Structure 1
Amino acid sequence: MVPRRSTPLVRFFGGVMARAMRRSFHAVRLARPGWPELPPGRPVIVCLNHPSWWDPAFLIVLATTQYAGRPGYGPIDAAMLRRYPFLGRIGLFGIEPGTVSGATAFLRTGLAILRDPDAMLWITAEGSFTDPRVRPVRLRPGVAHLVRRVPEAVVVPLALEYPFWDERTPEALARFGAPLDAAVFTGLEAATINDHLTIALQDTMDALAADAVSRDPARFLRLLDGRVGVGGLYDLWRRGRAWLAGRPFHAGHGAPEP
C-alpha cells in the first residue's frame, strides 16, 4: 500500500517547485522559532490547513529543505493521481474524497506508511480549499482516526498563508505549532481527538495570522528569495537614476530587508 516513492525524483521535483515559488512569490518564509524538533525513530503526522493550490508545492519545498532524511507522503484526489501518475513517485497516494472507500484507503495506506519510524505524512486536514480566516476550523475526521491508531507518532500542526505585503507578488508564509505526542490521546474517542487537533491547528493559524498582519520580516526565517520590483523598462529607469545619484539600487517597493 505504500507508494513507490523515488528519492531522486522527490529531490528533482522539490527543486522545480522551489524555482516556481521563487518566480511567483516575493519570499517564502517560516515564522520563528522555525523548524520543530522531531524525535528520531518516531513517525510524524503533519496536520495543516488548506488555503491554496500552492500548498503541495510549499510542502515539498519544506520537506526537501529540512526533512530530506525522512520519506514524505500525502493523500491526493485519486482522479488527479490517475491524471498525473508520476505524483505517486513523489509519495502521493490516491483516495476518493467523501466516500467510505476513500476513508478506508486513507487509513489503510496511512497506517502502512507510518510503520516506518522515519516517515512523515503531510495531510491537508480541512479536506478542501478553505480561506485561512474562516473560523471555526473544521477538520475531516480521518486524521483523528489515524492518530488514534498510531500512538507512537508525533503530530505537528502547520499553518499556511499567502498574503500580499508591500510588493507586487505575495508572501508564502508557514508556521509550525508545538509537536503533540499521539500517545496522550490513547483511549480517547476519535471525536475528542479531532477536537484537540482542531484547537492545536487553529491556534497555530491564529499565530501565523498575527505574524502576517504585522508585515514584519523579522518575525520570519526567509527560506527562499523571490521576485522583487516591477521589471522591464521601469526598473531599468530606476536603476539608472540610482546610478546617477550614486546610491545603491533596491528593486523592491518597501525598505530593503536585512
Structure 2
Amino acid sequence: MNSEPSASNQYLPRKTQWLWKGFYRYCRRYSAKHFHAVRLSKSSHLLNVAAGEPLVFVVNHPSWWDIIVCMLLSARYEKYQHFAPIEAGMLPKYKFFNRLGFFGVEETVEGARNFLRITQAIFSQPFNSLWITAQGEFVDPRVRPVKIRAGVGQLATRLKSGWIIPIALEYPFWNEKTPEALVRIGQPLKLDQDLDRQQWTALIELHLQESMDRLAQEAILRDPAQFDTLILGKSGVGGVYDLWRRFKAALKGKKADLSHMDDRKVSTQ
C-alpha cells in the first residue's frame, strides 16, 4: 500500500487545465459549424454524482466525431477531471492529446496491463472519470448485437465503487444539409455487484445496446422536441435555394428563416 501514491504519480496521465478549456471551446465552435445541432435525449438518465465516485463512460463508436461530442458532454460533469484511452499510434500525430488527459493503449498483453495500471492511478483520486469508446473501432450504430472490448469488463471487476454510464451516439441527417449529433445517456450501472469479467462485459453490452436502441427510435422520429439542444448550428441548404428564400423575405421586409425544422420552441442548454 505504501507504493500506491508513487505508482499513481507515475501512471496518471498528464492534463493541462487551460489547454483542456481551450480545446473545449474549440469543440463548441467546430460542432456549431459542422452540425445542425448537438442534442441530448430527454429520456437520458442524469445521475447525481456529487459524491465524487468513479465514473466510467462507455460509449459506442460510430465516427471520429465521438471525441468531440464526448468533450462537449463532459461539461455536464464539471466537478470531474476527465481522462480517455486512445490508440497509441495516434498520439505521435496528435501530440497535444498528451496534455488533455488522453493516454495511449496498445493491443498487446502488456498494453492491457498498462491500461489497468493507468486506470488504477486515475481512480485512486476522487472526482475522476474515464471515457471509453468501448467497441475499439468504428462500428455502425445499427450493428447488433453490440460488442465491446473485454478490458472494460476487467476494469469493472477492479472497481469496488462508482458507476458505469452507457452513452449512445448517432449522427443522422434530418432536414438540413448538416447532420444532427444525437446523444443519449443510458441507465447507469452501480459498481457494487460481484461479477466476473465476462459477466460485467455482457451486462455493459446489454445496457449500451438498450440505450442505442432507444436513441435509434428517437432519431427516426426526427423530432427536436424529444431532445434538449446543447448547441444549435447553422440552418439552410445553401446556394440558389437559400438565395431565393432570402430574396422573397427581403421583398416582405423580413429576415429569411433558412431552417427546414422549427428549433425555436426547443430548449437550448
Interval of TM-score (by shorter of Structure 1 and Structure 2): over 0.9
Cα–Cα, structure 1 residues 38 and 116, in superposed 2: closer, same or farther, change >3 Å? farther
* 2:8 match: none
Shift of 1:232: 5.0
Shift of 1:17: 1.1
* 1:139 match: 148
Deviations 1:33-68 (A, max 9, x none): 4462233220100011000010001111111x3122
Which letter maps to 2:151?
Answer: G
* 1:82 match: 92
Which letter maps to 2:67?
Answer: P
Give secondary structure in 2 for the equivalent of 1:123: strand
Deviations 1:120-155 (A, max 9, x none): 100011111000000000010000100110121211
Cα–Cα, structure 1 residues 16 and 91, in superposed 2: closer, same or farther, change >3 Å? same
Deviations 1:101-121 (A, max 9, x none): 221111111111112220110
- 1:38-187 aligned at under 5 Å gives the runs 38-39=48-49, 40-63=51-74, 65-97=75-107, 99-184=108-193, 186=194
TM-score by length of 2: 0.90
Partners of 1:28 and 1:256 lie apart in 2 by 12
Q: Does 2:20 align with 1:10?
A: yes
Q: Which runs of 4+ in 1 moved over 2 A?
A: 230-237, 245-249, 253-257
Corresponding residue to 1:199 among 186, 206, 212: 206
Which letter maps to 2:210?
Answer: D
Which letter maps to 2:60?
Answer: N
* 1:22 match: 32
* 1:253 match: 260
The answer (yes or no) to whether the contact 2:45–2:187 under 8 Å persists in 1 is no
Partners of 1:222 and 1:30 lie apart in 2 by 6
The answer (yes or no) to whether the contact 2:91–2:97 under 8 Å persists in 1 is yes
Partners of 1:141 and 1:34 lie apart in 2 by 25
Partners of 2:197 and 2:65 lie apart in 1 by 30
Corresponding residue to 2:230 among 194, 198, 223: 223
Shift of 1:253: 2.4
Partners of 1:176 and 1:68 lie apart in 2 by 16
After TM superposition, the structure 1 stretch with the greater mean CA deviation from structure 2, 166-175 or 108-117, is 108-117
The answer (yes or no) to whether the contact 2:52–2:80 under 8 Å persists in 1 is no
After TM superposition, the structure 1 stretch with the greater mean CA deviation from structure 2, 228-237 or 65-74, is 228-237
Partners of 1:180 and 1:35 lie apart in 2 by 11
Identity %: 43
Deviations 1:164-218 (A, max 9, x none): 001111000000012111112x2x2100111110100000000100110111100
Partners of 1:195 and 1:232 lie apart in 2 by 49
Q: Which runs of 5+ in 1 are unaligned?
A: none
Deviations 1:4-32 (A, max 9, x none): 11111111001111111111110000001
Which letter maps to 1:14?
Answer: Y
The answer (yes or no) to whether the contact 1:43–1:115 under 8 Å persists in 2 is no
TM-score by length of 1: 0.94
Give secondary structure in 2 for the equivalent of 1:169: coil
Report the aligned-residue RMSD.
Answer: 1.5
